[in-house]
Structure 1
Amino acid sequence: MKRFALAAVAALTLGLPAFAGEQFVDETGYAASGYDVVAYRSLTQAPVGEAQPAAVPGKAEITADYNGATFAFASEENRDMFLENPAHYAPQYDGHCAYGVSKGGKVPGNPNLWRIIDDKLYLNITTNVVGFWEEDIPGNITLAEGNWPEIDPAPASTSTIPNFSSPAPAQN
């Protein structure tokens, strides 16, 4: 009986990644539209209500794969930091809009509409949505965390990010 219980736990544990949702990847073919997810940590965040600094573009020749997607980086050092702990640097909710997840759905996350809260990277879809998100960031995170287990297994969004154009990471 003990052996059966251990086998069941192992099967469930090993099976969990199969239920994980997909990383949002837009027309560039890269997660976070090809922006360097490690570089956000070196940017100075703007106060709530003000626009954040622009995201740092990655380079096509400096990449790493995680959660079924390719991430691009501005430097090999950033790629190496990502590879040490990709879950720490990857955007929350597989790169989908944090406010959208708080409302129960998966819509694209815009890499230039970002905020780091409690050492986690959150993206939102439009500047209007950022306003709603920032009205109650802790409450919206609580709602999103409650919704995420149910919507995580759903396929990644296939929508285009509104009012956003990003060239694929530069070839150097």
Structure 2
Amino acid sequence: MKRFALAAIAALTIGSSAFAGEQYIDGTGFAVSGYDVVAYRSLTQVPVGEVQPAAVPGRADIVAEYNGARFAFASEENRDMFLKNPEYYAPQYDGHCAYGVSKGGKVPANPNLWRIVDDKLYLNITKNVVGFWEEDIPGNINIAEGNWPGIEPDEASERVIPNFESSAPEGH
């Protein structure tokens, strides 16, 4: 019992970033396919069932490191905002598809299929998956949150995002 209590205290003391899994990175070499994660906060989010505005591409010369990955930004101001609080801006589930996590796995996420819920950025993989996700967003988040601790340590997905061509920078 004493050992369990010490482990629980250590886990709370270390913080959640110590347990971060691998960030999803596609062929661009950037997290979130090189799109600016801060810029999502300035886009007008549309009602459930409608197509969200396109994500804002970052620039290969304005980057920051976080969770073992490079993030690209459209401006130095956005990069600086990210560096002040990366956990706030980074997508949930290390950039993997939120619905995929609710189903128990890590699959890639399309940066143009996004939604901010309770001030957190969630990405999904395809338009069809967005439909399933939106049928019960709170329920899917609840299930994903329950699944995430068990799959977070797994390696990041190496699959490509279907039907997606990035307009963000490429760079390694």
TM-score, normalized by length of structure 2? 0.90
Q: List per-residue Cα deviations over 1:88-112 (Å, max 9, x = no partner).
A: 0000000000000000000001100
Q: Distance in 2 between matches of 1:116 and 1:15?
A: 23
Which amino acid in structure 2 is aligned with residue 112 of structure 1?
N
- Given that 2:99 and 2:133 are in contact with CA atoms closer than 8 Å, whether structure 1 keeps it comes out as yes
What 5-or-longer segments of structure 1 have no aligned partner? none
Q: Distance in 1 between matches of 2:21 and 2:164?
A: 24
Q: Distance in 1 between matches of 2:87 and 2:110?
A: 19
Q: List per-residue Cα deviations over 1:84-140 (Å, max 9, x = no partner).
A: 000000000000000000000000011000000010000000000000000000000
- Given that 1:99 and 1:129 are in contact with CA atoms closer than 8 Å, whether structure 2 keeps it comes out as yes
Q: What's the % identity of the aligned pairs?
A: 79
1:88 matched residue in structure 2: 88
More divergent stretch after superposition (162-171 vs 123-132)? 162-171
Aligned pair count?
167
Q: Distance in 2 between matches of 1:28 and 1:76?
A: 20
Q: Distance in 2 between matches of 1:36 and 1:11?
A: 31
Tell me by how many angstroms 1:46 deviates.
1.2
1:113 matched residue in structure 2: 113
Q: Distance in 2 between matches of 1:158 and 1:33?
A: 13
TM-score, normalized by length of structure 1? 0.90
Aligned residue for 1:65, secondary structure, equals strand
Q: What is the correspondence of 1:14-25 to structure 2 with a 5 Å cutoff?
A: 14=14, 19-25=19-25
Return closer, same or farther for 1:144/1:6 CA change in 2, 3 Å cut-off: closer
Q: Distance in 2 between matches of 1:73 and 1:48?
A: 27
2:57 matched residue in structure 1: 57
Return closer, same or farther for 1:104/1:11 CA change in 2, 3 Å cut-off: closer
Q: Distance in 2 between matches of 1:149 and 1:12?
A: 14
Q: Distance in 2 between matches of 1:79 and 1:88?
A: 13
